[in-house]
Structure 1
């Protein structure tokens, strides 16, 4: 069961989990296409339950580095401010495709693996994104100089074999996420994100809807063929879609997606609130129609210059929607103005404590039985 400590009264709330009898999806004529671990099935069931009480707070690379520190075991800017770890921590696998030992943000993959295991042990969830290189040009994810990259990695394309090898490196990493007892740790994998913009080589103007869907299908097929049975999958465009039709234009299908969300950031407050309202309304509708978990997969306000941003902007904009989690981006130790969670002494730190105390915000201690 999930034990949630409602922080305003420190009330222990027990939620009974739905018993899950089937851990597989069936293809035509009853043929088993994919089997998930019991822990992964339970994670999905828990995500569907958690939104009934509130939403989990998440932070990218939370335990890897922060403002003024790098790689210290057990440290977290969020924990330093409120006394608890985020319920969700996301990590990026960029450069794993190259066979590098460190990510594009200079974090050893061994450290990322260790932190995912630590997050699992404390009851939290880990999410994985992948800012991989451009397999055609050799540039980074943001290299949009060629509009044929996605086509080149699909079957028959000049980079198909290279790309399948890249995905298999992701498979090997996810398969390696095991406890001392050999239990595979379930994670949420969020590939090909923000594709409704055109700043990544898989973006809207860089490939057709059919090519994008084929990219998704191929990616998940490779992972499954490689034995990855401990991953849920998240579909997360930006806030560009104006309605459900636009949101689903490149949707790869219910059989490949467990979580639907969106990424959006604040630049202008009024526009940000409007984007949140529009996008939350869209995913709430689709989530109910397709029986999918909904979440705000990336958001934030760089530098958090508003001392009341957490309770004055973010919380009132999202609390009425049944999202499973909201995740803010990283606190970059190499760019001291590039941070999205408070650290001790930061102008919004006190307000973040109030956000933490709110009964709907869930942190690691509140979901410490998420996988049990």
Structure 2
């Protein structure tokens, strides 16, 4: 296995804000200065392809096949003896004031796992499957094509969105170690917008309104003192060119990482879509000086015993990908898993994938000094 590394953590203190009502401001007058650790993370993400490709999984340490809520566990760790270098979590239902998110994981547990992953030297990314504020439905409720417009300034749900963003800000600001270090996070709002299965999707709002929603989100979180976020722009596989990929791009000043989500539904289509998107996003990342990642991918149930080494890794090798993240291993839904577990048909191949010098797991990234500026 490639070299193991240790992450040096510096200290930075912040005050905790609370979740409450928001003021109606169009923009912040000055961009919030990010913490040194957050700035260092961005530099590390850009440099990471020189070391290899970090492997990540959604909800890796909170449940898996046949278990839920155990401490110090993940299916990935059970297979290869190591945690993913990147862990993803979701804030869906935090806007409703609930104790648990949409996958029934408590926000207290998510907070603890985020801090633990940072203390271990890993990377954290957060998505937000936010409920539909106009209809009361979930993220997939696309029955009202005016939802996004209603959230913008003078819209009937604008104040509601600000209250919901207060809850997000409160959570992000609460991500602090015992020493007061604020944990950097890659935040991925309004993702997969080039499809139309979410209420913020392409056919549900205009280009101008989508960009305005992004900027409102960014500006308001900055106003609330959230200074530990990098922002990821994450379409699906619908774009066929750089111009199409950038059609709803909210701006270089508020985007730090560019990526895409791509799943296997047909193996030939997957190879074609991944190749197309990797070429497009590489060009965008190069032209706009952004970090690059495959922000979601995977093959549900992984029915190919050599998928890791014969499909996924060869696809990524020639591109400057900082990380690739597969989706969750659901404990409460049959045949909904994207990483192997002990006894799975792809277990041996995943170990070979883990041992490849180009793949980076937690112990591999522990000496890259991800959170220090002078590398």
The question of 1:203 aligning with 2:205 is answered no
Partner of 2:273: 275
Separation in 1 of the partners of 2:291 and 2:256? 6
- Which of 311, 314, 321 matches 1:323? 321
* TM-score, normalised via structure 2 length: 0.91
Question: Residues 170, 12 of structure 1: CA spacing in aligned structure 2 closer, same or farther, 3 A cutoff?
Answer: closer
Q: Pairwise mapping of residues 1-372 of structure 1 onto structure 2 (< 5 A)?
A: 7=1, 10-11=2-3, 32-368=30-366, 369-372=369-372
Does the Cα contact within 8 Å between 2:95 and 2:164 map onto a contact in 1? Answer: yes
Does the Cα contact within 8 Å between 1:59 and 1:86 map onto a contact in 2? Answer: yes
Per-residue CA deviations over 1:58-108 (Å, capped at 9, x if unaligned) read 000000100000010101000000010000000000000000000000000
Separation in 1 of the partners of 2:231 and 2:49? 18
Please, which moves more after superposition, 244-253 or 310-319? 310-319
Displacement of 1:11 in angstroms is 4.0
Q: Secondary structure at the match of 2:179?
A: coil
Does the Cα contact within 8 Å between 2:5 and 2:364 map onto a contact in 1? Answer: no
Displacement of 1:52 in angstroms is 1.2
Question: Residues 14, 68 of structure 1: CA spacing in aligned structure 2 closer, same or farther, 3 A cutoff?
Answer: closer
Displacement of 1:232 in angstroms is 0.3
Displacement of 1:319 in angstroms is 1.2
Does the Cα contact within 8 Å between 1:113 and 1:177 map onto a contact in 2? Answer: yes
Partner of 1:3: none
Q: After the TM superposition, which parts of structure 1 deviate over 3 Å for at least 4 consecutive aligned residues?
A: 10-16
Separation in 2 of the partners of 1:168 and 1:14? 35
Separation in 1 of the partners of 2:292 and 2:277? 11
Considering only aligned residues, what root-mean-square deviation do their CA atoms show, in Å?
Answer: 1.4
Question: Residues 118, 320 of structure 1: CA spacing in aligned structure 2 closer, same or farther, 3 A cutoff?
Answer: same
Per-residue CA deviations over 1:7-34 (Å, capped at 9, x if unaligned) read 1xx4468999xxxxxxxxxxxxxx8422
Unaligned runs of 5+ in 1: 1-6, 17-30
Separation in 1 of the partners of 2:85 and 2:293? 13
Separation in 2 of the partners of 1:14 and 1:201? 42
Does the Cα contact within 8 Å between 1:67 and 1:336 map onto a contact in 2? Answer: no
Separation in 2 of the partners of 1:302 and 1:73? 25
Does the Cα contact within 8 Å between 2:80 and 2:354 map onto a contact in 1? Answer: yes
For this pair of structures, how many residues does the alignment match?
A: 350
Does the Cα contact within 8 Å between 2:187 and 2:230 map onto a contact in 1? Answer: yes
* TM-score, normalised via structure 1 length: 0.92
Per-residue CA deviations over 1:145-191 (Å, capped at 9, x if unaligned) read 01000001111100000011101100000000000011100000000
Does the Cα contact within 8 Å between 1:261 and 1:283 map onto a contact in 2? Answer: yes
Does the Cα contact within 8 Å between 1:88 and 1:125 map onto a contact in 2? Answer: yes
Q: Secondary structure at the match of 1:216?
A: helix
Does the Cα contact within 8 Å between 1:298 and 1:329 map onto a contact in 2? Answer: yes
Which of 1 and 2 has higher RCO (CA within 8 Å, sep 6+)?
2
